Chain A
Amino acid sequence: MTLPILPTAIVGSYAMPGWLERLKTDYFARRISRHDLDEIYDAAVKAAIKDQETAGLDVITDGELRRDNMVDYFAERLPGVQIDRSSKKFYYDFYDSAVVGKLPMASMGLVQDFTFLNTFTDRVPKFCVTGPHCLTKRIRNQFYPSEEAFATDIARVMNMELKALVKAGATFIQIDEPYYSGFPEDLAWGVNVINTLVEGVDARIAVHICYGNRYGKPSWEGSYRYLFPTILKAKVQQLTLEFARRGGEDLDLFKEFNAPFELGLGVIDVKNTDIETPDMVAQHIRKALEVMPAERIHVLTDCGCFHLPRDVTFAKMKAMVEGTKIVRKELGK
Chain B
Amino acid sequence: MILKLNHLKVKAAATTQGVIEAVYALVEEGLIDQGQFARLQVELDWIQYKSNFREAVTATQGYNAFGQPAPIMDVHVDTRQVVPETLRGDLLRAIHRAQSGAEEDACRLPLEEFQSLRSSIVWKFNRFFWRHLLAWEAATGQGYDKALPGGSSDGHNPRAIADDVAEFLDLLCVLRSKNQLPAEVNLLEIGVGNGSRCAQWLDKFHELDQQRGTSLYPHVCFYMGDYSEDTLNKARLTVAKHIDQCRFVQVDAINPIKSLAHLRHKILQVHLTNVYDNLPDEEVVRRDGKLYFVQVRAYVPTAAVNSIGGKYGIPAELFRDRIYHMLEAGFDSFGGPQHGVPFWQELWAAMRLEERLVQLEDLPEFPFPDGLDAGKLEDILQDAPTDFRFHLSSGALESFIRTLPLLHPRGYMQVFDIFVTDLAQYRTGFFGPGKLDGSLLNWVNGALLKEVAQREGYDVHFRPFKYRANTHTSILYTTRRE
Contact = CB atoms under 8 A, between A and B. Distances in A.
A27 to B, nearest CB: 14
A101 interface: no
A228 interface: no
B390 to A, nearest CB: 20
Contact of A219 (B178, B409, B458): B409
B455 A217 contact: no
Nearest to A219: B409
A221 B457 contact: no
B454 interface: yes
B364 interface: no
Contacts of A271: 264-265
A90 B265 contact: no
A218 B481 contact: no
A215 interface: yes
B456 A215 contact: yes
Nearest to A181: B180
Q: Is the interface of B mostly helix, strand, loop or mixed?
A: mixed
Interface string A255-299: 000000000000000011000000000000000000000000000
Interface residues of A, number: 20
Interface residues of B, number: 20
Interface in B456-479: 456-458
Interface string A208-250: 0001101111111110001000000000000000000000000
A226 B409 CA distance: 18
B309 interface: no
B182 interface: yes
Interface in B315-374: none
B457 A218 contact: no
Contacts of B427: none
A215 B457 contact: yes
A214 B457 contact: yes
A34 interface: no
B54 interface: no
Interface string B127-159: 000000000000000000000000000000000
A212 B480 CA distance: 12
Given A215-B457, A220-B180, A272 B409 contact: no
A215 B455 CA distance: 8
A217 B180 contact: no
B405 interface: yes
B481 A215 contact: yes
A216 B409 CA distance: 11
A216 B457 contact: yes
Contacts of A184: 178-179
Nearest to B405: A217
A22 interface: yes
Interface string A59-75: 00000000000000000
A221 B408 contact: yes
Nearest to B375: A22
B375 A217 contact: no
Interface of A: 18, 22, 25, 90, 94, 184, 211-212, 214-222, 226, 271-272
Given A184-B179, A221-B265, 10 more contacts: A90-B455, A94-B482, A217-B265, A217-B405, A217-B457, A218-B265, A218-B409, A220-B410, A222-B180, A272-B264
8 contacts: A18-B375, A90-B455, A212-B409, A215-B481, A217-B405, A221-B408, A271-B264, A271-B265
